[in-house]
Amino acid sequence: MIEDILPSPKGQNPKKSSGATEKKEKQITVSFSHFESTKKLLHELVWLKKFAIDLEEVSQGDIIREALELLAEKIDYEKLRKKYAKQLEKAKPRSGRKKR
């Protein structure tokens, strides 16, 4: 499952053995540029999840993580990751602005 590939958010591991202590996953800052409607959608999803669904604190990162996990399931990420393991190993993520 995707949980076996990606660490659980906030360092929580459902398969954690009793008595063992685990460090929380390191948090990073991520920023991106996209359409204003994307920002509005993200803010609305945070609000709805916080006040209408979970009724507890939720962050933008929590929403993005959940969306990425849903996308991973939709595209069968595990199967694709195994199939393209060598290419992924060599792939370097692009960062910075798109060339115009």
Provide the whole-model pTM.
0.67
Per-residue pLDDT at 57 exceeds 90? yes
Token digits of residue 28: 């990073």
Residue 59: per-residue pLDDT: 94
Instruction: Please tell me the distance from the alpha carbon of residue 96 to that of residue 50, in angstroms, as a whole number.
Output: 32
Residues 6+ apart with CB under 8 A from 97: 33
Residue 93: per-residue pLDDT: 76
Residue 22: per-residue pLDDT: 75
If 0-12 CB within 10 Å is exposed, 13-18 middle and 19+ buried, where does residue 75 land?
A: exposed
Of the pLDDT bands very low, low, confident and very high (cuts 50, 70, 90), residue 50 is: very high
Mean pLDDT of 7-16: 52
Residue 1: per-residue pLDDT: 53
